[in-house]
Amino acid sequence: MEHATRVNCFHLIFHGRVCAWPALRYKSWMNRTTAPLDPSAARAPSLVTDAYRALKEAIRDNVFAPGDQGSEQEIALRLGMSRTPVHEALIRLQEEGLVRVVPKRGVIVLALSPDDMREVYDVIIALESMAAELIAAMAEPERHRIAAELHAINADMKTALQRDERDAWARADDQFHRALIDRCGNTRLARLANTIMDQSHRARMMTLRLRAKMTKSVKEHQAIVAAIRNGEAAVAGERAKAHRQRARNELLPLLDQFGMKHL
C-alpha cells in the first residue's frame, strides 16, 4: 500500500496539454499488481475472446486463408454477434501479425513471404534455444520430469515416422516444440514464442509434403533431451539452435524453388 502515501497528483501530457492525474483509489482486487500475463487469464468468457478464438482457429487451419478479405460487419453476422467484439478481436489479431485492418476498407489475412519465414525462423531459433537452456539449468527432479515428457513426445514422432504418417508426425513435432517452450518457466518467453509459432503454423503445414523424409529431427530431438537430462545448459541451447537452423536451411530453398511467394 506504499503507493497511497505518495504525492497523489501527477500530470499526463496529451497533445501539448497538461492534464492532472487523479488521486489513487485503492481497491481490494488491486493487491496483485504484478504481471499475471497468462494469455486470457481465466477471465469470464466474453464475445471478444470467442471471436478471437474462432478467427484465430480459422486462420490457423487455413479456412480463413491468406488473401481472403472480409468486413467486420460480415464476420459479425457470421459469428452471430455485433461488430464491436469482432473489431476488438481483430485488433488483437493484428497485434499478433495475423491480419491487417485497413481503415475504411477492410480486413485481410496476411500471407507469409519467404523473407517473412526467414524472420520467423530467426526469432524462433533465438527463443527456443534460450528455452532449452533454461530447462537444462533447472534443478534435477524438474529437469528429469520435463526430459521424460519430451522423450515421450519424441517416441510418438518416431513411430509416426516409421509408419510414414506425415500428419501425425507434424502434430508430434509441433507438440515437442510447444512443450519445450511452455515448460521453460518463463511465461513471457513462452507467450512470444507461441505467438510467432502460430504465425508460421500454416506455412509449416503447407510445406510439410514438400520435404524429404524427416529422419534427422528425431535424432536431433533426442540429443536435445539428453543434454537437458544431463543439465548441460549451453549444450542444450546449442543443439536446439542447430536443430532449427538445419530445418530452416532445408525449408527456405524449397520455398524459393517452388516459387511460393506467399503462404
Binds its own copies by CB under 8 A, chosen from 76, 86, 134, 136: 134
Site string for its own copies, 50-89 (x = CB under 8 A): x---x--xx----xxxxxxxx---x---xxx------xx-
The DSSP secondary-structure symbol of 157 reads H
Q: Which does 262 bind (CB under 5 to 8 A by kind): DNA, its own copies, none?
A: its own copies
* Residue 20: strand, helix, or coil: strand
Report the phi/psi class of residue 181: left, alpha or beta, with left for phi > 0 and alpha for psi in -120 to 50: alpha
Choose the contact partner of 73 out of its own copies, DNA, none; CB within 5 to 8 A by kind.
Answer: DNA
Whole-angstrom CA distances from 72 to 57, 82, 102, 108 are 17, 9, 11, 11
Which stretches of the chain bind DNA, using CB under 7 A?
Answer: 27-29, 44, 46-48, 70-74, 81-85, 87-88, 101-107
Check if the beta carbon of residue 226 is closer than 8 Å to that of residue 92.
no
Tell which positions 10-49 bind its own copies, by CB under 8 A. Answer: 10-15, 19, 21-22, 24-27, 29-30, 33-37, 43-44, 46
The yes or no reply on residue 207 touching its own copies (CB under 8 A) is: no
Which does residue 72 bind out of its own copies, DNA, none, counting CB within 5 to 8 angstroms by kind? DNA
Q: Which residues, other chains included, contact 245 with Cβ-Cβ below 8 Å and sequence gap of 6+?
A: 125
Instruction: Determine the angle formed by the axes of helices 140-162 and 114-136, rounding to 10 degrees.
Output: 140
Pairing status of strand 10-14 against strand 69-70: unpaired
CB of 61 to DNA, least distance (A): 21
Q: Report the alpha-carbon distance of residue 196 to residue 116 in Å, rounded.
A: 11
Please state the closest distance from residue 60 (CB atom) to DNA, in A.
20
Residue 258 makes contact with its own copies by CB under 8 A: no
Q: Exposed, middle or buried by CB within 10 Å (0-12, 13-18, 19+), for 127?
A: buried
Count of residues touching its own copies (by CB under 8 A): 76
Instruction: Name the residue nearer to its own copies (CB basis): 49 or 222.
Output: 49
Q: Of the two residues 216 and 262, which places its CB atom closer to its own copies in the complex?
A: 262
Instruction: For DNA, give the closer residue by CB, 88 or 116.
Output: 88
Out of its own copies, DNA, none, what residue 182 binds, judged by CB under 5 to 8 A for its kind, is none
